[in-house]
Structure 1
Amino acid sequence: MKILKTIILMVLFVGIVQAKTGVVTGGATYTMLPWFKSSFLELEDDVDEAKQNNKHVLLFFHLAQCPYCEQMVKDFDQQPLKAFIQKHFSVIAINIRGDKEVAINAEYTLSEKELADEIKVGYTPTMVFLNQKNETVMRTNGYRSPAKIRQILGYISSKAYEKLTLQQYIEKTKKVGNYQLQDHAMLQKITDFSAIKTPLAVIFEDKNCDACAYFYSTTLKNKSVKNEFNAFKVVRFDADSTHAIIDNKGNRTTPKEWVQQLKLAYRPGIILFNEGGEIIRIDGFLYPFHFKEALRFVGGDFYKRFATYGAYLAYRQAQLLEQGIDINIK
């Protein structure tokens, strides 16, 4: 009888252990700012109204419990950024899991989440800027610091997008910073990328990189991030360098020309390649969990199974939680 009781207790214990699910920490509860536009999500009408006030429409794609969204919303509400946004933009919130109908124009309507899927929102917050003809003129993916956001808003509000890329605009208006590029053991010296068909990470930095310190002091010291980087050849360039290289398509170029051709304005901007082509880019701030999963999405060939990084991430988080693994997204 004692043996039977012991067996029953062991079975119950194993069942309890197996039933444990992981928990997500690091999420953030936030609300949209009261001065965001209260829109019926009929974008043609929103654009027309903005045009009358010489404004652009800014679609702010967000997600519940998103710590990056929380911080950007806080940034938006601080002066002088707040005053500039209110003067030049009508901000409309779009929930990437939402069911509200969004009328792009009189002929085309879809839900918030369908719109997010259609434009392949991978990181939140994503900002999409519409001109006064209801055309998308630019988007950003992920969190940017207030100083970087201000550059982007100036680019849009001045309509510089009609003649320049964001990278060219920043080049014309930037003040040279004092960040010094750091060395790291994983960085390889490669100048010809035309024959590389295995996973490749190309990192672009410059003297104005305000997120590089975190990248080296925190992201690259995270064990799981380092493990995912093992699948990649990793190369870092000064985005202002004019040294000769050959890009992934066999073109003779320079890092400065390549980063402009890629239209990559964020630093450190990272392009993840596989089989010779760009798969995704990391062009916004990411905490280690989301960073290492972006690497795994490419290095583990998961991009072949999932249409977007966002779809993969939803699957991956559910998988880890089901296995009883806790996730700290911050």
Structure 2
Amino acid sequence: MAEHQDGKISFSSYMLDQQKSSSAKLIDEVFFISTDRLDKLSAQSDRPLAVYFESGDCENCEILHRRILADPATRQLVVEMQNVQFDINSDAKIVTPGGKQIELKQWIRELGIVYTPSVVFFDASGVEVMRIGAFMKTFHFQSVYDYVLQKAYLSEPSFQRYIAERAEKIREAGFDTNIWGYESTHN
């Protein structure tokens, strides 16, 4: 690690410290729920929870919102979940889906978030079931949402197998999966 920090701090702490604090606002979406009580969301609904970790002036966050989340098929999947957005530079105190009171930055470190945007998915009982911790194009992003919504992780622990089967079903229906693009061709 740069500056000889290896062994002194965790990788996630180092990466978070490298993020430039920005006064830029996050890109809001109508489906984001504003709350610091993630435990209450889990308790009040049987729908899964997606927690977005973003930062201002984040180029990939902008692509996520302007291209991937703007896609109609993606939005159909996203609105089936509860979605919350946090700024990784916030000094907020929150309650996690599991009921732990904690500073947001500490929770981010505990989760090992090192990239923005990241999305962590929790089941209705507040247990993490999946995460997106790297940039994905539309098909893969949709597939993660579908994997969580269908609770496919209970019967198919390999996301790679799940996504291959999903792509095959879409192709059998006569559509292209276009894993490298931003537009859905399988609405």
Name the TM-score class by shorter chain.
0.7 to 0.9
Alpha-carbon distance in structure 1 between the residues aligned to 2:57 and 2:5: 21
On the 8 A contact 1:229/1:295 being kept in 2, the answer is yes
Change (3 A) 1:288 1:173: closer
1:260 counterpart residue number: 109
Alpha-carbon distance in structure 2 between the residues aligned to 1:272 and 1:171: 20
Residue 232 (structure 1) aligned with residue 81 (structure 2): yes
TM-score scaled to structure 2, two decimals?
0.85
Residue 11 of structure 2: which of 154, 166, 171 is its match? 166
2:34 counterpart residue number: 189
On the 8 A contact 2:27/2:62 being kept in 1, the answer is no
Alpha-carbon distance in structure 2 between the residues aligned to 1:308 and 1:179: 37
Q: Which runs of no fewer than 5 residues in structure 1 stay unpaired?
A: 1-154
Moved over 3 A (4+): 157-161, 171-179
Alpha-carbon distance in structure 2 between the residues aligned to 1:289 and 1:171: 28
Query: How far is the alpha carbon of 1:180 from its aligned partner?
Result: 2.7
Q: Secondary structure at the match of 1:164?
A: coil
Change (3 A) 1:158 1:225: same
Change (3 A) 1:189 1:173: closer
The one-letter amino acid paired with 2:35 is: I
On the 8 A contact 1:210/1:267 being kept in 2, the answer is no
Alpha-carbon distance in structure 2 between the residues aligned to 1:216 and 1:323: 28
On the 8 A contact 1:241/1:254 being kept in 2, the answer is no
- Per-residue CA shift, 1:116-173, capped at 9, x if unaligned? xxxxxxxxxxxxxxxxxxxxxxxxxxxxxxxxxxxxxxx3x76644232222113444
Q: Which runs of no fewer than 5 residues in structure 2 stay unpaired?
A: 181-187
Query: How far is the alpha carbon of 1:190 from its aligned partner?
Result: 2.1
TM-score scaled to structure 1, two decimals?
0.50
* Structure number with higher relative contact order (C-alpha < 8 Å, ≥ 6 residues apart): 2
Alpha-carbon distance in structure 1 between the residues aligned to 2:65 and 2:175: 26
* Structure with greater Cα Rg: 1
- Per-residue CA shift, 1:39-63, capped at 9, x if unaligned? xxxxxxxxxxxxxxxxxxxxxxxxx
Residue 317 of structure 1: which of 162, 167, 170 is its match? 167
Change (3 A) 1:201 1:173: closer
2:137 counterpart residue number: 287
The one-letter amino acid paired with 1:290 is: H
Deviates more, 1:159-168 or 1:293-302: 159-168
The sequence identity of aligned pairs, in percent, is: 25
On the 8 A contact 2:147/2:153 being kept in 1, the answer is yes
Residue 217 (structure 1) aligned with residue 62 (structure 2): no
On the 8 A contact 1:200/1:274 being kept in 2, the answer is yes
What's the Cα RMSD here?
A: 1.9
Q: Secondary structure at the match of 1:201?
A: strand
Count of aligned residue pairs for this structure pair:
175
Query: How far is the alpha carbon of 1:184 from its aligned partner?
Result: 1.3
On the 8 A contact 1:303/1:309 being kept in 2, the answer is yes
- Per-residue CA shift, 1:57-77, capped at 9, x if unaligned? xxxxxxxxxxxxxxxxxxxxx
